[in-house]
């Protein structure tokens, strides 16, 4: 027999979970969250760097991050939120001048950003002792910081479940049925779901991998779950949003792009006197390598501009560390002269042409909403997006923060109307 959902959220990553939490806070019942892998072996929400900043250049991105940071602050202990700031180094004058100009907008929106000279950088961040003469300046935003994204996602999910939301794990949305009630306006009626057959955890993991990387459903390893009739659907599938969009005949301009992260061991005895990396927030070097302390290690990431799109989860290992991470770290700091590669991983950014997320009602549908493609910003915008989508569902409009600039319709218009975000790593 069919099941019935008031709202069906496709995807239980940090975005789907936040939307579910915000819906139950508003009293919505019969919320279903359907996800193939709530453990998140492939979910970006489990594979990210945990950076949190409102230092962006577009108003909606600054405001959505600012509001989410305020929420993280309220739960600082639960989320291991460490407000230690983002230091951003610049070696290109034009870019630095834009940063100075954008600071006016950031300050107007309540986000304090300091402008630093290379000399200020040397004094305040003593581990940065190399190549500072190549810098034109830096910004430091003390309100930015670091968070444990897994704790945030768990919090959203527990709050949603406490309010009655149902999370279906190992369930994959493989098909949809739509009806056209009025000309040119469709409605999503039924979602077809398959369930991964329970068994040996290693077999289950292999099946999940096959489905998420090759989009093929192995019939021997899955069973059909009863279809779910639904009043409303939210596409919160992160990097997989285009797969559902294509089944619905919806234009989706996002592409999945691999991003890699390495854990680096810097032994205390190799550090220059007076240098303590453990107290740093996030540092973004002019070379675009970024890093912060993570437990006993340094977590460092670099997004190669040449990375082709695709569902690629391979980690390049030592060659990534040797070629992309270590030279960039050591160029700016003798603290990284002698460091070791521990391990690393890769996950997916979902990237749009203007590098901003997609949120809003899907044109041509009466009951379809999308919230996906937050590139490297999904954790730090998660609460604002969850609240905004819940408001849209419950009252038909944004009440707390206007997220309408993020509607997908912008991509059918002139690029001057896009939310082009250049401060992107
Ligand atoms: C290396 C890296 C570093 C990053 N660093 C940061 C950072 O510092 N700060 C920050 O804010 N953001 C960062 N991000 C981005 C952030 O992680 C993402 O924007 C965010 O996690 C997206 O969350 P999501 O819920 O949209 O997607 P996901 O977490 O990917 O969730 C999507 C879910 O959909 C499920 N799914 C897919 N298809 C189906 C289907 N058909 N049926 C059912 N389930 C399905 C998947 O199993 C998955 O759990 C980073 C990302 C990466 C990869």
Is 37 touching ligand 1 by the criterion CB < 6 Å? yes
State whether 88 and 222 are in the same domain.
no
The CA 117 to ligand 1 mean position distance, Å, reads: 36
Residue 269's pLDDT band (cuts 50, 70, 90): confident
Q: What letter would DSSP give residue 400?
A: S
Indicate if 242 and 376 belong to the same structural domain.
Answer: yes
Q: What angle do CA 60, 401, 99 make, to 5 degrees?
A: 25
Residues 6+ apart with CB under 8 A from 55: 62, 86, 88, 106, 111, 113, 139, 141, 144, 423
Residue 22 lies in a domain: yes
Helix (H) or strand (E) holding 382, with range, is: helix 382-395
- As a whole number of angstroms, the distance between CA 42 and CA 234 comes to 20
Q: How many domains is the chain built from?
A: 2
Decide whether any atom of ligand 1 lies within 6 Å of the 378 Cβ: yes
* 88 and 138 part of one domain: yes
Give the contacts of 64 (CB within 8 A, at least 6 positions apart).
381, 384, 385, 388, 401, 403
CA distances for 286 relative to 140, 141, 221, 347, angstroms: 13, 16, 48, 23
Tokens of 342: 């521990």
Instruction: Confirm or reject: Cβ of 298 under 6 Å from ligand 1.
Output: no
Cα end-to-end distance, the chain, whole Å: 47
Q: Are residues 96 and 233 in the same domain?
A: no
The tokens for 252 are 């989706």
Determine the pLDDT at residue 1.
57
Task: Look over the chain and give the mean of its residue pLDDT values, rounded to a whole number.
Answer: 96
- Domain end among 335, 351, 367: 351
| Atom number of ligand 1 nearest to Cα 243 | 41
Mean pLDDT for the stretch of residues 385-403: 98
213 and 295 housed in the same domain: no
* Residue 368: inside a domain: yes
pLDDT recorded at residue 184: 86
**Per-residue pLDDT reduced to its tens digit, 72-98:** 999 999 999 999 999 999 999 999 999
User: What's the whole-number mean pLDDT along residues 11-36?
Assistant: 98
Distance CA 330, CA 321 (A): 12
149/17 Cα distance (integer angstroms): 12
Closest to 247 measured CA to CA, from 233, 261, 268, 260: 233
Q: From the CA of 44, how far away is ligand 1's center (Å)?
A: 3
Do 400 and 335 contact (CB within 8 A), yes or no?
no
- Statement to judge: residues 342 and 362 lie in one domain: no
Share of the chain above pLDDT 90, in %: 94
Cβ-in-10-Å burial (0-12, 13-18, 19+) of 223 comes to exposed
Rounded to whole angstroms, how far apart are CA atoms 201 and 89?
45
Per-residue pLDDT of 168-212, as tens digits, reads 999 999 999 999 988 889 999 999 999 999 889 999 999 999 999
Residues 340 and 261 grouped into a single domain = yes
- Higher model confidence: residue 273 or residue 134? 134
Q: In this structure, are 94 and 241 located in the same domain?
A: no
- Whole-number Å distance, alpha carbon 276 to ligand 1 midpoint, is 32
pLDDT(242) > 90: yes
Same domain as 302, residue 291: yes
CB of 382 within 6 A of ligand 1: the answer is no
Tokens describing residue 85 = 């700031």
Mean pLDDT, residues 1-17: 94
β-partners of residue 299 are 263, 292
pLDDT exceeds cutoff 80 at 2: no
What CA–CA distances, in Å, run from 228 to 184, 308, 360? 24, 36, 22
77 within some domain = no
Nearest CA to ligand 1 atom 31: 13
Residue 372 CB less than 6 A away from ligand 1:
yes
Spacing, Cα 49 to ligand 1 middle (Å): 12
Of 317, 351, 385, which marks where a domain is finished?
Answer: 351
Cα 321 to ligand 1 centre (Å): 23
Whole-number Å distance, alpha carbon 134 to ligand 1 midpoint, is 35
128 and 247 belong to one structural domain: no
In degrees, rounded to 5, the angle at the alpha carbon of residue 134 between the alpha carbons of residues 377 and 331 is 70
Element (H, E) at 207: helix 201-214
305 Cα to the center of ligand 1, angstroms = 20
CATH of the domain at 307: 3.30.9.10
Nearest CA to ligand 1 atom 14: 376
Which structural domain, as residue segments, surrounds residue 27?
A: 3-47+150-253+353-417
- Provide the 3-class DSSP secondary structure of residue 124: helix
Mutate to test the pocket of ligand 1, among 22, 49, 352 (most ligand atoms within 8 A of CB): 49
Q: Specify if 273 maps to a domain.
A: yes
Cα-based distances in Å from 311 to 16, 42, 194, 209, 210: 20, 10, 21, 11, 11
CA of 36 to the centre of ligand 1 (A): 13
**Residue 60 included in any domain:** no
The pLDDT value recorded for residue 182 is 86
**Residue whose CA is at the smallest distance from ligand 1 atom 25:** 13
Please answer whether residues 141 and 55 qualify as being in contact, where contact means their C-beta atoms are separated by less than 8 angstroms. Answer: yes
Last residue of a domain, one of 293, 328, 351: 351
Ligand 1 probe mutation, 20, 238, 424, most atoms within 8 A of CB: 238
Residue 122 Cα distances to 129, 135, 275, 320, angstroms: 7, 11, 12, 28
What gap in Å lies between CA 297 and CA 98, rounded to an integer?
Answer: 33
**pLDDT, tens digit, for every residue of 307-359?**
999 999 999 999 999 999 999 999 999 999 999 999 999 999 999 999 999 99
Expressed in angstroms and rounded, the spacing between residue 224 Cα and the centre of ligand 1 is: 25
DSSP sequence for 31-80: EEEE-S-TT-SS-HHHHS--EE----SSHHHHHHHHHHHHHHHHTHHHHT
pLDDT at 270: 78
Q: Do 246 and 154 share a domain, yes or no? A: yes
Cβ of 374 less than 6 Å from ligand 1: yes
- Residue at 58 is within a domain: no
Does residue 59 belong to any structural domain of this protein?
no
Q: Is 355 in the pocket of ligand 1 (CB under 6 A)?
A: no
**Which of 33, 193, 240, 346 for mutating ligand 1's site (highest number of atoms within 8 Å of CB)?**
240
CA-wise closest residue to 132 among 98, 92, 102, 91: 91
Whose C-alpha lies nearest to ligand 1, atom 13?
Answer: 376
For 352-369, what is each residue's pLDDT tens digit?
999 999 999 999 999 999
* Cβ of 352 below 6 Å from ligand 1: no
Q: Which of 344, 346, 335, 341 is nearest to 264 (CA)?
A: 341
Would you say residue 57 lies in a domain? Answer: no
CATH (domain of 169): 3.50.50.60
**Same-domain pairing of 270 and 238:** no
């Amino acid at each position: 027999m069919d099941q019935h959902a008031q709202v069906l959220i496709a995807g239980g990553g940090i975005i789907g979970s936040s939307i579910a939490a915000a819906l139950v806070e508003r009293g919505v019942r019969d919320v279903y969250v359907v996800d193939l892998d709530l453990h998140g072996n492939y979910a970006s929400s489990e594979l990210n760097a945990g950076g949190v900043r409102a230092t962006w250049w577009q108003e909606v991105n600054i405001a959505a991050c600012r509001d989410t940071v305020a929420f993280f602050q309220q739960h600082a202990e639960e989320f291991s939120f460490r407000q230690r700031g983002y230091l951003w180094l610049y070696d290109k004058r034009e870019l630095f001048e834009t940063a100075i100009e954008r600071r006016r907008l950031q300050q107007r929106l309540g986000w304090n950003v300091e402008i630093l000279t290379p000399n200020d950088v040397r004094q305040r961040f003593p581990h940065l002792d190399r190549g500072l003469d190549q810098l034109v300046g830096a910004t430091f935003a003390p309100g930015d910081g670091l968070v444990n994204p897994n704790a945030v996602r768990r919090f959203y999910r527990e709050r949603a479940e406490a309010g009655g939301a149902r999370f279906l794990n190992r369930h994959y949305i493989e098909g949809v049925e739509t009806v056209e009630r009025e000309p040119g306006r469709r409605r999503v009626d039924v979602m077809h779901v398959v369930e991964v057959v329970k068994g040996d955890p290693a077999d289950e993991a292999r099946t999940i991998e096959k489905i998420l990387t090759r989009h093929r459903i192995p019939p021997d390893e899955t069973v059909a779950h009863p279809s779910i009739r639904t009043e409303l659907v939210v596409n919160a599938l992160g990097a997989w949003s285009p797969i559902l969009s294509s089944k619905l005949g919806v234009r989706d301009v996002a592409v999945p792009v691999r991003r890699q992260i390495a854990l680096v061991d810097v032994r205390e005895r190799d550090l220059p006197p007076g240098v303590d990396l453990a107290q740093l927030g996030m540092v973004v070097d002019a070379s675009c390598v970024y890093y912060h302390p993570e437990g006993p290690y340094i977590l460092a990431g670099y997004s190669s501009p040449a990375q082709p799109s695709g569902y690629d989860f391979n980690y390049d290992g030592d060659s990534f560390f040797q070629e992309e991470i270590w030279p960039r770290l050591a160029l700016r700091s003798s603290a990284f002269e002698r460091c070791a590669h521990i391990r690393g991983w890769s996950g997916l950014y979902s990237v749009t042409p203007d590098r901003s997320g997609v949120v809003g009602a899907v044109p041509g549908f009466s009951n379809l909403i999308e919230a996906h493609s937050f590139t490297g910003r999904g954790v730090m915008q998660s609460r604002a997006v969850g609240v905004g989508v819940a408001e849209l569902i419950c009252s038909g409009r944004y009440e707390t923060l206007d997220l309408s600039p993020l509607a997908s319709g912008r991509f059918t218009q002139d690029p001057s109307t896009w939310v082009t975000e250049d401060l992107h790593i």
